[in-house]
Structure 1
Amino acid sequence: MPLDADRGVPGLIVKFGDYPLHHGGVGAIRSLGRLGVPMYAITEDRYTPAALSRHLRRAFVWPTTGTEEPARLVEGLLRIGRRIGRPAVLIPTDEEAAVLIAEHQTELGGGFLFPRVDAGLPRRLASKQGLHELCVEHGIPSPKAAFPESYDEIEEFAAKARFPLVAKNREAFVRRARPAVNGTTRITSRERLLGLAREWGAHPGVILQEYLPREEAEDWIVHAYFDAHSVPLAMFTGVKVRSWPPHAGMTAHAYVVDNPELADLATRFIKQIGFSGVIDLDLRFDRRDGQYKLLDFNPRMGAQFRLFESESGIDVVRAMHLDLTGRAVPKGGQRAGRRYIVENIDLPALLAYRRSGYTTPHAPVRPSGTELAWLAADDLRPFFTMLARFVRPGAKHLYQLWRAGHRGATK
């Protein structure tokens, strides 16, 4: 039965920063566009994969860094809204966009539709420290963590810490400016920690976190949409088979796996904090104590959201559009056994994981279906545009990816 989407209410992909090869935005354009919803997107230029999707009505070229003053970004969104000419559902693809929308609901509420949430909550959830504090407050398992405020505190911590441990940037937004570390960094010794800390300045913006050994852990993901009362209208669980960079980055390959315990954990946490909207959670199951530990909370659509679809054809983006336009969201269990592959990063990830010997026990032998991030029979141009932009400068780029994966797997 076809979904009853409101074709009179467009969708707008909102992204800040320079990352043109974003498959999640393309997935959202296709998901709603196939229902007849007019789709618009903010893009870096006219030749990004998203800009060339046949399901996109118009690309608004607006190069940003994500570090602009909020007033400027809000005005830019309002200007785009006036050009669209009718209220549109906002679909953020990054933390900067999700936080901006939440913190400026009054200004944006007249021209756009979006889930209403406590204004400060998305920023707190996107922060590693804020998320850890919320987990402690509400009894949600998370890795042990420290938040040193000075080099002296790092020295004190290092004297009694167990290694290896993990260093991450404390706040989500520093990747647009000067991050202390490049993503998740595994630190194997006290000497290495102190050496890195000398470069972090007087106020280190890092979290030092317990390392969960990959040979004793499994990477799980939860994608869901919660209504204004924090009730899940769409709930999905799956296993991350490979990521890029290895074991610490974006999903490259994943499977749908039913996990009622994990779904209940996510539902309870969202109800406790009162969140509304789309979520993308990363958790690691620690076999040593049998707990699912929450690592990341993205208060927006995840890039791999198209892995998940219900038997009634619902994904989290469709659920949000239906709910915000007053339509009922059809019920239905998730389609188990589906597989998702991000073509341009799964090959180097596969090479790295083979060298590390890591496997997941939950991958189905025969997937019930495969969703490719880029290639789609009804929308070919994003795939070929991705290839053209990805391979520059050709084989050298692919070789560097392979070498980086090899080094990450052998550390």
Structure 2
Amino acid sequence: MASKGARFSIDRSVPGLIVKIGDYPLHHGGVGAIRSLGRLGVPMYAITEDRWTPAARSRYLRAPFVWPTSGREDADRLLSGLLRAGRRVGRPAVLIPTDEEAAVLIAEHQRELREHFLFPRVEPELPRRLASKQGLHELCAEHGVASPASSSPESYEAVERFAATARFPVVAKNREAFVRRARPAVTGTTRIAGPRELLALARGWGERPGVILQEYLPLEDAEDWIVHAYFAGESEPRTMFTGVKVRSWPPHAGMTAAAYVADNRELAAISAQFVKQLGFSGIIDLDWRYDRRDGQYKLLDFNPRMGAQFRLFENDAGLDVVRAQHLDLTGRAVPEGEQRDGRRYMVEHIDPAARLAYTRAGGRAYRTPHTPAKPRGTELAWCAADDPLPAAVMAARLVRPGIKHLWQLWRRSRACRP
């Protein structure tokens, strides 16, 4: 719902445009951004796969721009499509990317886009490097930020040498973020139990494996933390939030299914210093894992854009990172405020499965001592009393494949009758 007592005045003459590249229609982060600014009276537009994505049915959306993409298109075609959307909006709009491809496209084509859009200025090559697992590991090493020990084998023979000396289990990830542009080596974060399993997988990676192999941080000795923030020019933090991830889907390695706001001044300071060293401006979504064995926070992912669960975080001034960016880019003051500790966020279509998986695994979702005994308010990803259609469309799109399959089975059974 709209924030009560928001202590800021937003410029309603400047629209927002949700930018996404790739086919992932059930994206609650885009819906959250549409609602966050739309509830304040900001005209909202969004690029969507079709007119029946959940985002396209939000009451706070002025218009969807139907533009299906795969992420395999060349940059010129993607740039042309984004400029076409800008001309349809008809006035400069704040860009809100929801994936790495969109964030990189904007950063690398700032000169062409600045006539039609508002967005934070950043070194053009930086978002691509941050989104890359290999690039991020190198940047962490360069600036003294802890991250999991990693290896990037350049051949199958290099994988064999790694397997002969590595301590298992290990984690395999696609080296580059743009996995939709080619056949990915692994599906998301993949835990590998031993050398035999690693070598079997590596036989399918080709002559130049596109993976990074990282040390596995044991679940029983770790906590998952998230940091969301907005940094203005000169990498100055305008608002910053910290929280703990208690469930994800797939379990322990995927999208946030449930999380809580929890104050962590040490982690906020580490994050702010790293961003300052990088010279990054804009919204960030960081995934950290605290390793109790050595007392270090290790950076797993640096998403140079809005995170899907950003609505977990709101301060007592009514500010989230999307609102902070809009205020800053339109020349408005960004008010300070304290984050609302104990607030909970749940993603309805994946959390039930995640909860079941964690329970069967011995309740490992609740190893962190930082979750409150009782949440102080809950933000749902989909369901909202003032905007019910996105949740209904999401549910319909989830059940439609099952209904279609049952219909096909029924027709086949009819055709087989004597």
- TM bucket, shorter chain: over 0.9
Who is 2:91 aligned against?
86
Give the superposition deviation at 1:366: 1.3
Distance in 2 separating the partners of 1:339 and 1:355: 22
AA at the equivalent of 2:220: E
Distance in 2 separating the partners of 1:164 and 1:80: 46
AA at the equivalent of 1:20: P
Return the TM-score normalized by structure 2: 0.94
Distance in 1 separating the partners of 2:283 and 2:401: 36
Pick from 364, 369, 372: which aligns with 2:372? 364
CA 1:396–1:51: 2 relative to 1, 3 Å: closer
Give the superposition deviation at 1:67: 1.2
AA at the equivalent of 1:129: Q
Structure 1 segment 60-99 matched on structure 2, within 5 A: 60-99=65-104
Who is 2:396 aligned against?
388
Structure 1 segment 157-168 matched on structure 2, within 5 A: 157-168=162-173
Who is 2:336 aligned against?
331
Who is 2:352 aligned against?
347
Partner SS state of residue 328, structure 2: helix
CA 1:332–1:381: 2 relative to 1, 3 Å: same
Percent identity reads 74
Contact 2:72/2:180 (8 A) holds in 1:
no
Who is 1:274 aligned against?
279
Distance in 2 separating the partners of 1:396 and 1:107: 44
Who is 1:106 aligned against?
111
AA at the equivalent of 2:307: G
Alignment pair present for 1:193 and 2:191:
no
Who is 1:8 aligned against?
13
Contact 2:143/2:274 (8 A) holds in 1:
yes
CA 1:63–1:364: 2 relative to 1, 3 Å: same
AA at the equivalent of 2:336: K
Distance in 2 separating the partners of 1:176 and 1:119: 20
Q: Deviations over 1:346-389 (max 9, x none)?
A: 00000000011102322111111000000001000001011000
CA 1:178–1:13: 2 relative to 1, 3 Å: same
Alignment pair present for 1:213 and 2:213:
no
Distance in 2 separating the partners of 1:342 and 1:159: 41
Distance in 2 separating the partners of 1:155 and 1:385: 48
Distance in 2 separating the partners of 1:307 and 1:90: 21
Alignment pair present for 1:295 and 2:300:
yes
Partner SS state of residue 391, structure 1: helix
Partner SS state of residue 344, structure 1: coil
Contact 1:230/1:271 (8 A) holds in 2:
yes
Report the more deviating stretch, 127-136 or 361-370.
361-370
AA at the equivalent of 2:132: S
Distance in 2 separating the partners of 1:230 and 1:298: 16
Q: Deviations over 1:24-49 (max 9, x none)?
A: 00000000001100000000000110
Contact 1:220/1:237 (8 A) holds in 2:
yes
Distance in 1 separating the partners of 2:104 and 2:77: 14
Who is 1:284 aligned against?
289
Q: Deviations over 1:320-369 (max 9, x none)?
A: 00000000001001011100000000000000000111023221111110
Q: Deviations over 1:122-153 (max 9, x none)?
A: 00000000000000000000000000000111
Partner SS state of residue 301, structure 1: coil
Distance in 2 separating the partners of 1:183 and 1:76: 28
Pick from 114, 126, 129: which aligns with 1:124? 129
Report the more deviating stretch, 1-10 or 131-140.
1-10
AA at the equivalent of 1:304: Q
Distance in 2 separating the partners of 1:349 and 1:392: 22
Contact 2:70/2:180 (8 A) holds in 1:
no
CA 1:68–1:175: 2 relative to 1, 3 Å: closer
Contact 1:230/1:275 (8 A) holds in 2:
yes
Who is 1:403 aligned against?
none
Partner SS state of residue 254, structure 1: strand
Distance in 2 separating the partners of 1:93 and 1:69: 19
Contact 2:230/2:237 (8 A) holds in 1:
yes
Contact 1:310/1:333 (8 A) holds in 2:
yes
Q: Deviations over 1:139-186 (max 9, x none)?
A: 000000000000111111111100000010000001443100011111
Report the more deviating stretch, 186-195 or 32-41.
186-195
Who is 1:401 aligned against?
none
Q: Deviations over 1:85-135 (max 9, x none)?
A: 100000000000000000000000111000000000000000000000000
Alignment pair present for 1:313 and 2:318:
yes
Gaps of 5+ in 2: 406-418
AA at the equivalent of 1:250: M
Distance in 2 separating the partners of 1:38 and 1:70: 27
Larger radius of gyration between Structure 1 and Structure 2: 2
Contact 2:107/2:122 (8 A) holds in 1:
yes
Who is 1:51 aligned against?
56
Who is 1:400 aligned against?
none
Return the TM-score normalized by structure 1: 0.95
Who is 2:32 aligned against?
27
Contact 1:17/1:176 (8 A) holds in 2:
no
Structure 1 segment 232-243 matched on structure 2, within 5 A: 232-243=237-248
AA at the equivalent of 2:391: F
Give the superposition deviation at 1:395: 8.7
Give the superposition deviation at 1:229: 1.1
